[in-house]
Structure 1
Amino acid sequence: MERTLARKRGSPVGIADVVEDLRARAKSLAKASYYLYRATVLQRIRDLFAEGVLDEEGIQKLVARLTPEDGTASIGTCVPEKRTSAQSRKHVRAVSFSTLAFMSYAKKTRTYVIVGAMMEYGPDLVTRPCELIGGIMTGRWLSIRAAKCTNGRGVGEIRNLGLKDAFTDFDLEEVRDLLTLLREDLQKVGGDRSKLVRRYGAALRRLRQGVSWAKGITLKSTRAQGRANLARAGYTAFEIASIMGHASAETSASHYGRKSQGWKSSHNRRPLAISERALGRVRPGARTKAKIARGQPLTFSETRDAFAGPKPA
């Protein structure tokens, strides 16, 4: 949030500036959005306290300023009835992505070939759309530059993904071809990844125009569904966070697809390797820390086992 606000203002900002900005925008934000941003700001404040940047008095002042001047009842009062959200779907059937990929390939233009490949391989790569642009393949390892990494946050500026049994040798060649096309397009637009994402996103919207079952499917839908697939395949929250580039193990569960909606796969299928370096940088989320402090179970399975009691010998 600090980086986004700094880019908007054209000058460096601190956590106090972010708090004031959120306070000022509270009326124009939906309540769910406001409290999501608020939770992110609070986590940042906790981090700064742990680093010794803030003291208790400073924390109290910042937290007090998070509440809008007119009180919490004013949050969302100026939100327009018609929103312009992309409405990206979190859960998409495998056949839907495959069909969109086929439709896109059939157009045989450069942009649509790229969109088709993103639809086909996106759910297994689980990257943000812009992160594939500029990616490099070395053997079975894909190196990408993280889209959201600043001031040491996240799991690192460069993220390495090991492509395992979800990718055949043919698939690897197709991914390499996709990366080549993306790098060439990136050079043509002077390194502006956002411009390319807008171009490919517009092509996908034209492709699904009038197709009712494709409503709400965006380039980012592949990442959301990919998270659900990883969870169903047995990856832990910390492993998923390291793959997706999240600093907190709780982020993916809060914003992306649910485990129950993941695609069925063969037993013990592990599509992506885990980077130990990235895994070591993932931290427990605020809810997990609170549960640890209270001695509560961390997962549903642990809760169920606690109530079930010891199993008979």
Structure 2
Amino acid sequence: MSRMLINGILRDKPVTADGQFQRMPSAFRSWIEASPGAAFPAVSGRYHLYLSKACPWCHSVDLMLTFKGLRDAVSITWMDPVMSEDGWVIDQPGFEETAGVPRDRYLYEVYQRAAPDFTGPITVPLLLDKQSGRIVSTESASILQMLNTAFAGAGATGPDLYPGALSDEISRLTAMIHAPVCNGVYRAGFATAQPAYDEAVTRLFAALDEIEAVLEQRRYLAGEEITGIDLKLFATLVRFDPVYVTHFKTDRKRIADYAALSRYLCDIGGLPGVRETIDLPHIRAHYFQSHRHINPAGIISIGPDSPFAEMPAPQGAA
């Protein structure tokens, strides 16, 4: 049984009657802005991220930090690979003392301190304002957008990964991948009824076939230049064959069975700084040992060959 906060108290999350996994919406959706008069102004060193090397939503944020050159501008606390019954556990050996960031044991403690009456899921990524102690956002898509634009005058480098000229196409592609693929793997894996699983996995592979057709014509999803939507898809694809095929029963095909998707995965994986964001042993330990309702013994499967399997653990990872 997964846990959530209800009026600031840790409780069991209700189970849906139809067996479908439903991701609860993010409650914190404030915005960092370049204006000095903003509630959350773009200031290097002011903000802190709680991230997991296992989580694909966090991985896309980590990639954005890499592409925008913001690793020194935003501090990070990492999660242990294996979750507890009370949710995400903070990596204690890897914890780096940072002003405005107490040493908690569990992520839910961060929520309780920042929003004592909060009701909702205990999720990463979490973007914290160290100055006020308030949570800025827990919505990965918003965090990606903020990191892409808000810090232009506060140390950010690299290209605009959400160019205005491609906004309509990026929105179309987001609809193509977000619900059926990025969230779809979880809807398949966490389904507790056959119809719910069948619906999720059918939509998943229909979307992958559609994306394969796009990538047969383009280097990246939106064209010849990488954009933010690629960061989201890449994070899911990295985990697909090593984890989701077995653990989430998404075994109709592997990414290795798709020529264009395989090329795309290796292409992005070869870009500067990308491989350093991938800790495959950490990822596999998280999924196979955290979800005991799927894998009661916590046995980690042997897994397939992967171009990322031999990567050393990135600095700061458990």
Structure with the bigger RCO (C-alpha within 8 Å, sep 6+) is 2
Larger Rg: 1
